[in-house]
Amino acid sequence: MILKKKSFAKINLFLYVTGKRSDGFHELSSLMAQIDLADEMEFVFGGNGIRVTCDHLLVPDGKMNLAYRAAALFFKSYEKKMGHFPLGVSIQIKKQIPVGGGLGGGSSNAATVLMVLNEYCSAVFSRVELMGLGLTLGADVPFFIFGMPALATGVGERLEKYPDLPELYLVLCDPGVSASTSDVFKNLDFRLTSRRNYNMNTGLNALLGELRGDGREKLHNDLEVSACSLYPGIASVKEEMEVLLKRNVYMSGSGSSLFALFFGPDDAKKAYEMLAKKWAKGYKNVFLTSLRR
């Protein structure tokens, strides 16, 4: 049996770093939403064991791939519960989501694997159990299993549905830099984060201000200063994009992807076409996409 699935990317509309736990993990408050940009995943069931291949140079095949680790975790957990292993699976990933882009590509692939295998095995695990398994693979994995826009706190695992997002279109740019999430967190200067004067309303008010288009408030990402000092290419593309689009541009997650928000598909399309034409020859990659609500 062959099954094809889309594995969607996410963006962080805002992201505040609110603390650091004794185990070294950072606590966040972030509004996360999936977007239409997606990898294509193909699952072939049968035989024994797990095989994973990916068509992207920066993404490993086999055991180092997060999709493999998700399948191995599912197999182990299934065996513990049912007393035997499920049928084997071969997984092929066609990457569209920029790698190291702060768009959660690897986490999304891992979540898709957990959900597809669980469905294939007659839903032996509940959604909450699956999210618990996902968290052991990465902080963003539970969000993709949750499956709707969410306010994320804790290390990203405490998720609260955020149903009030309007229709939003995005012009998204991969500035041609792959950012390391762990390096960006290590380089974080706590004197520059919002942890002292932040509560969730700060982010939501900034979002409302942004959506009203009155420019009073700006969305914010506490990881931006760190990412831009490690990868100056992010800052220069952001500035260029803000000048060309005449609007605020934000970084998603730990970078490197940058995005601008639009209310209408036509304005977004015009902006996308202008950037795509202007940057056709370079290393930057531009996408036209929208929020999944």
Active site residues: 10, 140
Residue type at position 143:
F
Stretch that binds ligand ATP, among 56-64, 126-134, 218-226, 242-250 (CB under 6 A): 56-64
Rounded to whole angstroms, how far apart are CA atoms 93 and 9?
14
DSSP 122: T
For ligand ATP (CB under 6 A), the number of binding residues is 22
Binding residue for ligand ATP, selected from 18, 29, 221, 254, defined by CB under 6 A: 254
62 versus 232: smaller Cβ distance to ligand ATP: 62
Residues 201-230 that bind ligand ATP (CB under 6 A): none
Rounded to whole angstroms, how far apart are CA atoms 140 and 156?
6
Is 142 in contact with 134 (CB distance < 8 Å)?
yes
CA distances (Å), origin 166, targets 55, 163, 207, 210, 264: 35, 9, 11, 12, 11
Stretch that binds ligand ATP, among 53-61, 156-164, 211-219, 231-239 (CB under 6 A): 53-61
Residues 68-127 that bind ligand ATP (CB under 6 A): 93, 99-107, 109
Q: What value does the CA radius of gyration of the chain take, rounded to a whole number of Å?
A: 19
Contact pattern from residue 134 through residue 153 relative to ligand ATP, giving x for each residue in contact according to CB under 6 A and a dash for the rest: ------x-------------
183's tokens: 């390096």
Is 14 in contact with 31 (CB distance < 8 Å)?
yes
Stretch that binds ligand ATP, among 30-38, 59-67, 200-208, 259-267 (CB under 6 A): 59-67
67 versus 152: smaller Cβ distance to ligand ATP: 67
According to DSSP, the residues that pair with 35 across neighbouring strands are 291
**Interface residue list for ligand ATP (CB under 6 A):** 54, 58-60, 65-67, 93, 99-107, 109, 140, 181, 253-254
